[in-house]
Amino acid sequence: VVYLVVFHLSFVMFVWSYWKTIFTSAATPSNEFCLSKADKEQYEKEERPESQQEILRRAAKDLPIYTTTASGAIRYCDRCQLIKPDRCHHCSACDICVLKMDHHCPWVNNCVGFSNYKFFLLFLMYSLLYCLFVAATVLQYFIKFWTNELPDTHAKFHVLFLFFVAAMFFISILSLFSYHCWLVSKNRSTIETFRAPTFRNGPDKNGFSLGWSKNLREVFGDERKYWLLPIFTSLGDGCNFPTRLVIVDPEQLTVSSQNEPAK
């Protein structure tokens, strides 16, 4: 009875998480990040990059944006014609800008980002448990196969195949799941791991890290009873993220402290 309950529960959670990962639409920036009609026409008429950047700076002055390009310019998507929020990137496969984009996953045929990152993590976790459960169940028959205690039937080759498939998937998913657990603890996306976000004071790979506890809650939410369920509980709106203190110039810090009166 316990065997059947564990089997069916793990399978249901695996399918549920997989379904949510696939069919949850990628979150896109809100309309406030789109240029007005007048600014868009003026931007398209301008040929000089400096003038175009001035238009973007004027449009982005009231937006919650703290990151820029590597050259310090406003991050703008010519394809979607909008100012990119922090941690937002354009997906060439989906042809849309995705909030807090992590990567485009061909296995789920969807972008993994703000709206379904929790579902993707749960999908990996329940896949891992499911493979482990299958491998552990077949292990006794696998041992009998090598000790020639298993009856000489065609079923023994099925047992051998099932064990190796479950073990290989377990190893591959374990490495991927461990990597994403590390990303969650650092509050980074896969894209930010390879290219650190650039703030006004320079690039900072830990710019969005608030400590592992707050980083974990940012993905899974404040209610722990919902953490293991594939329902959306991530904090925020995907357009604005809390940041820690970014890189500070030591010389500027020394000068400012000398200019301030002693308290």
What pLDDT digit, counting tens, does each position of 125-162 carry?
A: 999 998 988 888 888 777 777 777 666 666 677 778 88
**pLDDT over 90, % of the chain:** 69
- In the block, residue with structure tokens 């600014």: 39
Q: How far apart, in whole angstroms, are the C-alpha atoms of residue 196 and residue 219?
A: 19
- Is pLDDT at 222 greater than 50 in this prediction? yes
Q: Which two tokens stand for residue 99?
A: 């909030």
Q: Provide Rg for the chain, Cα atoms.
A: 24
> pLDDT value at position 6?
73
Residues acting as catalytic residues: 105
* Contact residues for 123 (Cβ-Cβ < 8 A; gap 6+): 14, 17, 18, 20, 21, 108, 230
Q: How far apart, in whole angstroms, are the C-alpha atoms of residue 131 and residue 15?
A: 13
In contact, 127 and 173? CB cutoff 8 Å: yes
Quick one: pLDDT band at residue 256, thresholds 50, 70, 90? very low
Q: Which residues pair with 112 in a beta bridge?
A: 103
**pLDDT over 70, % of the chain:** 89
> pLDDT value at position 250?
40
> pLDDT value at position 203?
92
Give the residue-averaged pLDDT of 29-50. Answer: 92
**DSSP notation for 208-248:** T---HHHHHHHHH-S-GGGTTSSS---SS-SS---------
Give the residue-averaged pLDDT of 164-192. Answer: 95
Q: Which two tokens stand for residue 258?
A: 């000398």
Q: How far apart, in whole angstroms, are the C-alpha atoms of residue 108 and residue 18?
A: 8
Please tell me whether the overall predicted TM-score, pTM, comes out greater than 0.75 for this model. yes
